[in-house]
Amino acid sequence: MLTVHHLENSRSQRVLWLLEELRLPYDVKHYKRDANYLAPTELKKIHPLGKAPVIVTDEGEVIAETGAIMDYILHTYDGTGLIPQPKTRARNAFTYWMFYAEGSAMQPLLLKLVVDRIRTKTPLLARPIASRIAEKIEELMVRPNLQANIDFWEKTLTDHEWFAGDEFTAADIMMSFPVEAAAARAGAGDRPHVRAWLDRIHARPAYGRALERGGPYAYA
């Protein structure tokens, strides 16, 4: 049976959700974050980068990277209901959001995380200067970028109910982590169409079942 190596409060929640949407059987190996919010070194025994998610397929193949895992699951099992027909606008949009989620959306969010850590983790004596540097980085590189991305999501979800068009697809699953993280850290949930989309995904039975299998997930 397919095994998901799942880190609490992380991107790997999406893999559980996809498997639940497809009603596939799977095992979950749970990992807890350490005191620095990193993955435990144990995950490096599964994949050299030691990040989540990682899956081990029925054939014993190890696959990392959320997009690659989603692609494998969608094409190995019957994921056609979650992928728009080829050669359609919806399919092009689907491919775009599948790549965009990790390739572009996560960058300003990670930068924000780093800036917040500089503010809170710098030793007390150096904190005033560190905070000024953090503020400058945030002003120049983080806030405008995050706002542009959130505006883009709001516009997309104003035009259509789902990211790739009028139907729910795996691109919505892929986009859940950046949007949920931006709702938690950058106010994305205050935008009406982003909020409505978040409410729609959270109401899906498969999303609920994935939460039950996954354990702690701070972004739902």
Residues that bind ligand GSH (CB under 6 A): 7, 10-11, 38-39, 51-53, 65-66, 102
9: left (phi over 0), alpha (psi -120 to 50) or beta: left
Residue among 165 and 214 whose Cβ is closer to ligand GSH: 214
Q: Pick the closer one to ligand GSH by CB: 90 or 182.
A: 182
- Residue 168 Cβ, how far from ligand GSH at the closest point, in Å? 21
SS3 216: coil
* Least distance to ligand GSH, CB of residue 6, Å: 10
In whole angstroms, give the CA distance from residue 176 to residue 197: 10
| Nearer of residues 77 and 217 to ligand GSH, judged by Cβ | 217
Nearer to ligand GSH, 39 or 90 (CB): 39
Measured on CA atoms in the order 76, 82, 88, 89, is the torsion positive or negative?
Answer: negative
Spell out the residues 6+ positions from residue 75 whose beta carbon is closer than 8 angstroms to its own. none
End-to-end Cα, the chain, rounded Å: 27
Q: Which amino acid is at 77?
A: Y
* SS3 at position 162: strand
Rounded to a whole number of angstroms, the minimum distance from the CB of residue 54 to ligand GSH is 8
Smallest separation, CB 171 to ligand GSH (Å): 14
Least distance to ligand GSH from the beta carbon of 60, Å?
A: 20
Cβ closest to ligand GSH, residue 90 vs residue 174 = 174
79 is written with which tokens? 């994921």
